[in-house]
A = this chain, B = another copy of it.
């Protein structure tokens, strides 16, 4: 129950033949209207994949009728040939669906630097267009076709009085601020202008996908797109839309955290008492990203000294004499000095909460991350070979 729950959408996921494994690798999402407003948030990486460059152009108009997504190749660092492949993909989708190429956005994920086989891709688009459905299974098929090292398909839904928001995502590593190597499509049958959609989407992404940080990397392909069909006939406020987008995006972010590459611990870093929300995010992100903290948590070691050291080098206001660190509910560092018995902090479970209280102001933030495990090293040292 995701993309196709809101009225006015069809989806599919098929095997085009881009993946050597023969698993599904091409998804198509179509907005049947009556409205076709859309908005998107893209990677801030200066090295942008061809589908990102394409989608940024077509989104300038604030409307979309379809999104083609593929796994099995990122189409990044592929130069003019890669951009032509992207353009041809949109043209093919427009041709078989009966609208213009400017109505089609693109998302790709996989290895950077290899050209996508254009014929295989275009044949896949044609095949996908013939299998579009508005069933729950069709949404799941789309979510499945964009998986790379993901082990489970990721879908979410927020229901409101008479309208709803559905969403799918992929991403299991290389996830970081700005949603690195994360693709996500949200659909809603609410009525909204593209300006309202974009404002609501940015507000949602800022407190959901942007607060998930697995390894600090940022990809060439990150994209979150929202399509609005208006089929419910209901026009929520920007705040109502943002709240629904946030609900779906937070749910999807949690699913990505749980499925991140090599994860054995789901870690939440919560910072309170910061001088500002921005400082809270900075401290939480620095702790979440610190390799020594992440390896300690993998070892179920409540090594609060590493948390304190990481907080101390974050680019934020901090008074070491006011610093408290609590791990899984046990206060281990109070006023910058050892407090409780570290053996009381039980980190043997899969969920770890690291709380850092700065005692300076009202700024708060949470970052979701994972431990740094042998499996992470294993999976990422063998990805392209």
Contacts and interface: CB of A to CB of B under 8 A. Distances in A.
A377 B380 contact: no
A348 B219 CA distance: 27
Contacts of A254: none
A23 interface: no
B373 A320 contact: no
Contact of A309 (B218, B373, B380): B218
A180 to B, nearest CB: 8
A292 B217 contact: yes
A18 interface: no
A113 B380 contact: no
Nearest to A178: B313
Interface residues of A, number: 67
Given A216-B290, A310-B217, A374-B374, A301 B384 contact: yes
A179 to B, nearest CB: 12
B113 A333 contact: yes
Contacts of A298: 377, 381
Nearest to A385: B301
Interface in A358-385: 372-374, 376-378, 380-385
A337 interface: yes
A383 B74 CA distance: 38
B305 A76 contact: yes
A306 interface: yes
A45 B320 CA distance: 10
Contacts of A318: 46-47
Interface string A280-311: 00000000011110011011010111101111
A337 B77 contact: yes
Contact of A217 (B44, B313, B332): B313
Contacts of A295: 376-377, 380-381
Interface in A334-365: 335-338
Given A77-B333, A113-B333, A308-B47, A292 B377 contact: no
Contacts of A380: 291-292, 295-296, 299
A199 to B, nearest CB: 25
Contacts of A378: 374
8 contacts: A46-B312, A47-B312, A79-B337, A173-B292, A174-B309, A180-B313, A216-B291, A218-B313
Given A79-B336, A113-B305, A219-B309, 4 more contacts: A47-B318, A113-B338, A220-B305, A301-B384
Interface of A: 44-48, 74, 76-79, 82, 111-115, 173-174, 178, 180, 215-220, 289-292, 295-296, 298-299, 301, 303-306, 308-313, 318-320, 323, 332-333, 335-338, 372-374, 376-378, 380-385
